[in-house]
Amino acid sequence: MTTLTDAEWALVGRLEKMIKAKRRRNELRSAYMDGKHLLTKLPPSSPPYLRQLRTVLGWPAKAVEALARRIRLDGFDFPGDTLGVDELLAANDYFAMSAQAQVSALVHSTVFVTVTAGGAGEPEAVVSHVTAMNGTGEWDTRRREFTSFLAVNRWPKAGTASGLRSDGEFTLFLNHEVVTVVDGKVVSRAVSPVRMPVTHMSYKPRLDRPFGSSRISRPVMSITDSAVRTIIRSEGTADFYGVPWFMIFGPDESSFSKDGWQMVMDRINAIPDNTEPGVQNPRADVKQFTQGSQQPHVDQLQVLAGLFAGETNIPVSSLGVGLSQANPTSAESYLASREDLIAEAEDAQANWTSPHVQVARWVFQIANGVGDVPPGLVSVRPVWHDTRYTSRAAAADANVKLVGAFPWMSNSDTLIGTLGFDAATTARLLEDKKRAVGVQVFAGLMGDADGRSSGAVSQTGS
């Protein structure tokens, strides 16, 4: 069949509507993330020329990136043989793509991960990440998996009345089946050994919201808008604050032939006396008034920064406000100021562990065409980087204390992984350890041989 069945087209239509129903909010959050959201309702007190300014604030991006940097997948822990899974993941650049997917999950609340069989010039199993802007599916809460999923690779051109039925490219995931459609025609209908090789990585999922919530929440957007309005007000006030405010009594209009900017820039300003007869005050009387202060705007911005920090669990100093608190007095106070953010990162790691395990198993199953998970992959687990940014000196000191309490840990390779080295450095250190142990064993054997020989000679001589 060169096209989908009526039931399949109906399913595509439902899923397409689900994507479009969330598109406006997802696009709005993307605009906040990219610093492209502009206020449509500016403060009524802002001068006309300030209404042309395109003022934006990077706080939403800071909220996302500050958390994303603390969630880093270092690798997988295989109890035995990797069965080639590590090579398949490397061929998909899985760890770099997962880091990008995590950012998308924080922005749009979720990101979807699919695994399909590779074509010519591709890995045997291809891992793809689909944002909430381009994919969705029907979720079975009982089995905790998708019953169907739509991933749109290319949307129809604007003005196409029939939508995906005649234009665009998408992949439809069904029960043990993956269907690829281009411009309304089925170009591939493949059988999958996995019933539904699609999972999701969601931020703060709940029972009633399995796809989670966005890090750029409504309170975050509202506080950001208030902060932008405060900045715009301060821009207008700064112009008046930077120019002295005078009231002049007595002179005629001929004394003010220069424009305002020229009067500000002139070094010497002289106002002649009014020589007209009958004038009560021939000499100009100049009085200066105190300008409005910028401090109220600064105070308001600090209050908004505190509200934003409370909503996102990041320190106020990270927002560029309250810089007097930027340098903590100790490592303990630094950790204390980020304890809530660390807890957020650990919670996200716990929620995203299962999707990574599923992907590791699926790439093996699809690459080898088997439906069952091999025993060697039943206990595979992702290895997460420490969310606390512990220094190597502090980690080494902690390890010394651990070895003192548990001497057997000195022979554990796991201990090296707690020092904060990357995977490649850790692997080289373990190889160096093996070589060092081998040299010691060889030296010990040679020493034992020498000892036995000398002992035998001594006995013979006696």
- pLDDT per residue as tens digits for the range 388-437: 877 667 777 777 887 788 777 767 767 776 666 666 777 777 777 777 77
Matching residue, tokens 């850790």: 426
Percent of the chain predicted with pLDDT > 90: 54
Residue 308 neighbours by CB under 8 Å, 6+ apart: 59, 63, 220, 223, 224, 227, 319
Mind listing the pLDDT tens digit for each residue in 109-157? 999 999 999 999 999 999 999 999 999 999 999 999 999 999 999 999 8
Residue 103 lies in a domain: yes
Matching residue, tokens 């007000």: 233
Residue 402 lies in a domain: no
Q: How far apart are CA 137 and CA 110, in angstroms?
A: 12
Residue 134 lies in a domain: yes
Model confidence at 33, pLDDT cuts 50, 70, 90, reads very high
Residue 444 lies in a domain: no
Compute how many other C-beta atoms are within 10 angstroms of the C-beta atom of residue 353.
14
Residue 428 lies in a domain: no
Nearest Cα residue to 355 out of 50, 115, 147, 79: 115
**Residue 365 phi, psi dihedral angles, 5° rounding:** -60, -45
Q: Is 432 left (phi over 0), alpha (psi -120 to 50) or beta?
A: alpha
Tally of structural domains, the chain: 1
Question: Which domain covers residue 367, as residue numbers?
Answer: 1-242+281-389
Check residues 240 and 207 and name the one with the higher pLDDT: 207
Strands (E), 118-249: 125-131, 135-140, 145-154, 169-174, 177-182, 185-191, 198-202, 245-249
Residue 396 lies in a domain: no
Residue 169 lies in a domain: yes
Pick the range with the lowest mean pLDDT from 17-21, 304-308, 337-341. Answer: 337-341
Instruction: Assess whether pLDDT exceeds 90 at residue 321.
Output: no
Q: How far apart are CA 177 and CA 2, in angstroms?
A: 16
- Burial class from Cβ neighbours inside 10 Å (0-12, 13-18, 19+) for residue 31 reads middle
pLDDT score at 458: 43
Quote the tokens at residue 321: 């406000």
pTM equals 0.81
Residue 33 lies in a domain: yes
Mind listing the pLDDT tens digit for each residue in 66-101? 999 999 999 999 988 899 999 999 999 999 999 999
